[in-house]
Chain A
Amino acid sequence: MDGEDLLNTESQETAEGEGITIRLEAFQGPLDLLLHLIKKEEIDIWDIPIAHITEQYLEYIKVMKDLNINLAGEWLMMAATLIYIKSRMLVPQEQKSDDQTEENEDPRQELVYQLLEHQKFKNAAEMLYTREEIENAVWNKPPAEVLEDGSEVVAVTLFGLLQAFHEVVLRFESQRTMELDQEVVTVEQKISDIRKRFLVHDTLLFSSFFAEALSKKHLIVLFLALLELVRLREIWLYQKKAFEEIQISKVKEKA
């Protein structure tokens, strides 16, 4: 199995026979289609039967149009190029004046160079593909701090924490209807409240942590209590990823 088969399986399967269905990503562009046709029919690139290839190319274009595939301009440009080359092939070379050497060039030449150049970079792309395969098979980082479910976590920055608390306050202010004159709450009270909550929960979301607070003052005292418990290493704050929701977890006692 060569690389072409490996990478372009769709084009290999679908281009043959039984009712052509084309997946456009397999034929990435007109040059890919031409290369495919040349390889399939084992055509000598230095002597492309341009009339035959043009016919095949236009047939594919027709199929793609029938399938309502939106063809980018380059497909039609290539069709025009092929037809132009075909017409020039029909003009006898002798009629050209001798001093204009470039006119004596094979009209297919530029296209051939373009195809070879394209194939060259397709090969380079396959080399990258192989290297990527190898790199995907190695691991390089020592394990980061890992949760029980195996997902990595990142520490919460102070800024991230303040931002999250700011959002909680904003949400509270947008939702509240009236603020009752509360009884006095202390950080100590809230600490014991939080400890009670973590007897039943292992982890709480930062956003739901503050759901029961009845006033802005409550929110702030609760936040201070939270910080105190972090300082005492009873709970810890983390995110699955930077900027994701902050989670609050009980610190497990060492067995």
Chain B
Amino acid sequence: MEKLEMQAIIEAIIYVAEDIVKLEQLREVFPEASKEEIEQALKELVEAFNARPGGMLIREVADGYRMTTRPEHHEQIRSYLKTRPNAKLSMAALETLAVIAYKQPVTLAEILAIRGKKSSTAIQTLLEKKMVAIVGRKPVVGRPILYGTSKEFLIHFGLNNLNELPTLEEFAQMAGEQL
């Protein structure tokens, strides 16, 4: 199959997909092509697609690809859709989530030590919103629950993977300057 045709098909698949499109899924669509061929076609497609001054972007999120509108057009799109911005997470929830994201897998007691405050309500919210998940139990007395972030977390914050988060040292440096 010609690369251009493959790219057109991949573009169409990313458009219709309800979820994030992963490379492995594309390999099932093109059984004759090698992994490298698909990867290369995909990479070039994303570059070319995002270079054009169109209204859509193909973004890498949670180890896959999806098509979105450009953030800079949100006002006009919202005015057309007549929607209001989604409810955001509270500061307490975001702080708890930050601790979980950087310290995972982490127990409630460890979160308490950092935040200096009980975080059970925030955890409940995060579990309900599927931002965090129970990933196991710590092999210590009481076997406390361990929490970690989910794929939904990556999607919600537009991250490809956890390595895309800035390092904690950067925030420590900022804290040093702020205080």
Interface residues of A (CB under 8 A from B): 7-8, 25, 28-31, 35, 38-39, 45, 72, 74, 78, 114-129, 131-142, 150
Residues of A within 8 A of B101 (CB): 124, 128
Q: Given A31-B115, A72-B117, A121-B98, A128–B179 Cβ distance below 8 Å?
A: no
Question: Which chain B residues lie closer than 8 Å to A126 at the CB level?
Answer: 94
Q: In the assembled complex, which residues on chain B have CB atoms less than 8 Å from the CB atom of A124?
A: 98-99, 101-102, 165-166, 168, 171
A131-B179 CB under 8 A given contacts A30-B116, A30-B117, A124-B101: no
B71 CB contact (under 8 Å) in A117, A120, A138, A142: A138
Give the 10 A-B CB pairs with smallest separation, nearest first: A29-B117, A137-B74, A124-B98, A119-B175, A31-B116, A123-B171, A45-B179, A137-B71, A125-B94, A138-B68
Contact across chains for A142 and B15 when beta carbons are under 8 A apart: yes
| B175 x A120 contact (CB < 8 A) | yes
How far does the alpha carbon of A137 sit from the alpha carbon of B166 in the complex, in Å?
Answer: 21
Q: List 7 A-B contacts (CB under 8 A).
A: A31-B117, A116-B176, A116-B179, A118-B116, A125-B95, A139-B69, A142-B15
With a CB–CB cut-off of 8 A, which chain A residues contact B82?
A: 150
In the bound complex, how far is the Cα of B175 from the Cα of A124, in angstroms? Answer: 10
* Centre residue among B88, B91, B159 by max chain A CB count within 10 A: B91
> Which residue of chain B lies nearest to A126 when distances are taken between CB atoms in the complex?
B94
Q: Mark B63-105, 1 if CB is under 8 A from A, else 0.
A: 0001111111010010001100110111110110111011000
Which chain B residues in 140-173 approach chain A with CB under 8 Å? 156-159, 165-166, 168, 171-172
The answer to whether A121 and B95 touch across the interface, beta carbons within 8 angstroms, is: yes
B167 to chain A, nearest CB (A): 10
Q: Which of A116, A131, A136, A139 has the most chain B CB within a 10 Å cutoff?
A: A139
- Chain B interface residue count: which class? 35 or more
In the assembled complex, B178 has its CB within 8 A of some CB on chain A: yes
Contacting pair A119 B179 (CB below 8 A): yes
Choose among A38, A121, A127 the residue with the greatest number of B CB atoms under 10 Å from its CB.
A121
Residues from chain A with a CB closer than 8 A to the CB of B1 are none
State whether the Cβ of B4 lies closer than 8 Å to any Cβ in chain A. Answer: no
Contact B157 A39, beta carbon cutoff 8 Å? no
A123 touches B175 (CB 8 A): yes
- Across the interface, name the chain A residue whose C-beta is closest to B166: A127
Query: Which residue of chain A lies nearest to B87 when distances are taken between CB atoms in the complex?
Result: A136
Find chain A residues with CB under 8 A from B94 CB: 125-126, 128-129, 132
- Chain B residue numbers with a CB within 8 Å of A123 are 171, 174-175, 178
B16 contacts A by Cβ under 8 Å: yes
B98 touches A125 (CB 8 A): yes
Q: Which of B68, B166, B175 has a CB less than 8 Å from the CB of A116?
A: B175
State whether A138 touches B118 (Cβ < 8 A).
no
